[in-house]
Amino acid sequence: MLLGVPKETKYKEARVALTPDVIKELIKKGYKVVVEKDAGVNSYIKDEDFINAGVQIADKQTVYKADVVLKVNPPLPDEVAMMKKNAVLISFMWALTNPALVEACVKAEISAFSMDAIPRISRAQKMDALSSQANLAGYKAVILAADHLGKILPMMTTAAGTIKPAKVVIFGAGVAGLQAIATAKRLGAVVEVSDIRPETKEQVESLGGKFIEVKGDESIKVEGGYVKNVSEEFLKKQQELVAKHVQEADIVITTALIPGKKAPLLVTEQMVKSMRNGSVIVDMAVEQGGNVAGSKLNETIKTENGVTIIGESNLPSLLPMNASQLYAKNIQAFLLHLSDSNGFKWEMEEEITRGSLIVHQGKIVHPALLNKN
């Protein structure tokens, strides 16, 4: 079975779907691999490194004619059209909000698995690319904020006096939020955390963060680790409680996402205006509409009162060596679960297959899309 790895074309994307180390392991299992020229250059992987791993370097059209196309980002409909009938696509697809891609897969009569739809269950942890990438994003968000902050994070006692530690407020204690807490604590900051899921309190406190507790209501629904539903009334209550903490913060990091929906607004315009001159906000949800009033996609802006708002949409791509390495491992585990070198198993009732298969041989099969239609 021939695996094809195209060069990522999305703006500011530096990752690649497979790395030479993982390719060597897949070749040992009997797979063949073709990689587009310069596909790994932004991840500091030369074509020579791929060739030494046993790969054929080819043009884009050849790569898209492989039995299985492996990508990080969703391909464009025109790229899907290059694939041969009954081929398989594996990438992030965000299928609920990307109908044009789903339609292109149907039209091309291919099968497509989405990395963001893999069930978040214990036996799928090695395949969980959302977690591997969010982990890196949480780390980078703190480093980015620290770089823009005009002061240090830890307390420092000097002959000239004592510098107080910086205060970091984090919205959301998912994978990205927990890594942000751990990173900010390691750098010596005081960390406060808000999350509408009360069960995250213990995790936050185990990392040394202070939990800002908002009493929940019946509108909150959590599925697969994500908040699926929350009332406007509850969000307002949360905003009122955390407003004082935001006002006193040096750094605010927001991580709240709702799959298939616009990100909830957590930091209002008034809250931004209340912050001190020189403070920094990182909106990690900016690509889905943003958690912060005034944040702009892929821009770093400064407000009239001197608050820097960072709207970097692709934080894992700023760490392409690690991000590609981890994503390639996720792809490897997923591919070996779904197939062997002779072909796919197509165990349609198996939980991981059922949860991640969006289109099968030109037909939409994912329950969420069928229910939507």
Could you tell me which residues come within 8 angstroms of residue 249 by beta carbon, excluding any fewer than 6 positions away? 167, 168, 169, 192, 275, 279
Residues 227 and 260 in one domain: yes
Structure tokens at 143: 């480093």
78 is catalytic: no
Instruction: Estimate to the nearest angstrom the gap between the alpha carbon of 165 and the chain centroid.
Output: 29
Within-domain flag for 372: no
Within-domain flag for 150: yes
Instruction: Give the H or E element holding residue 329.
Output: helix 320-338
pLDDT digits (tens, 9 = 90+) for 168-219: 999 999 999 999 999 999 999 999 999 988 889 999 999 999 999 877 655 5
Residues 13 and 91 in one domain: yes
Catalytic residue among 128, 195, 250, 283: 128
The predicted structure's pLDDT at residue 235 = 72
Q: Is the pLDDT of residue 228 over 80?
A: no
The predicted structure's pLDDT at residue 89 = 98
Name the CA dihedral angle for 27, 32, 36, 37, rounded to a multiple of 10 degrees.
60
Look up the CATH number of the domain holding residue 166.
3.40.50.720
CA gap 162, 153 in Å, rounded: 13
Within-domain flag for 221: yes
pLDDT digits (tens, 9 = 90+) for 305-348: 999 999 999 999 999 999 999 999 999 999 999 999 899 999 99
Residues 298 and 150 in one domain: yes
Q: Is the pLDDT of residue 223 over 60?
A: no
pTM for this predicted structure: 0.92
Residues 186 and 199 in one domain: yes
Number of domains in the chain: 2
Rg of the chain over all Cα atoms, to the nearest angstrom: 22
CA gap 333, 262 in Å, rounded: 31
The predicted structure's pLDDT at residue 39 = 98
φ, ψ of residue 153 to 5 degrees: the values are: -85, -40
Residues 268 and 217 in one domain: yes
pLDDT digits (tens, 9 = 90+) for 140-181: 999 999 999 999 999 999 999 999 999 999 999 999 999 999
Residues 331 and 313 in one domain: no
What is the number of alpha carbons within 13 Å of residue 364 lying toward its C-beta?
Answer: 16
Within-domain flag for 302: yes
Which residue range forms the structural domain that includes residue 168? 131-318
67 is catalytic: no
Q: Is the pLDDT of residue 80 over 70?
A: yes
Q: Number of helices and strands (H, E) in the chain?
A: 13, 21
Catalytic residue among 21, 44, 125, 270: 125
* Full 3-state SS string of 5-49: ECCCCCCCCCCCCCCHHHHHHHHHCCCEEEEECCCCHHHCCCHHH
49 is catalytic: no
Residues 34 and 54 in one domain: yes
Within-domain flag for 47: yes
Residues 179 and 307 in one domain: yes
Within-domain flag for 369: no
Residues 252 and 232 in one domain: yes
pLDDT digits (tens, 9 = 90+) for 237-252: 777 889 999 999 999 9
Catalytic residue among 120, 186, 197, 354: 120
128 is catalytic: yes
270 is catalytic: no
Residues 169 and 224 in one domain: yes
Within-domain flag for 373: no
Residues 158 and 253 in one domain: yes
Residues 307 and 324 in one domain: no
What is the number of alpha carbons within 13 Å of residue 269 lying toward its C-beta?
Answer: 2
Structure tokens at 29: 């299992």
Q: Is the pLDDT of residue 230 over 70?
A: no
Catalytic residue among 131, 238, 313, 324: 131
Within-domain flag for 124: no
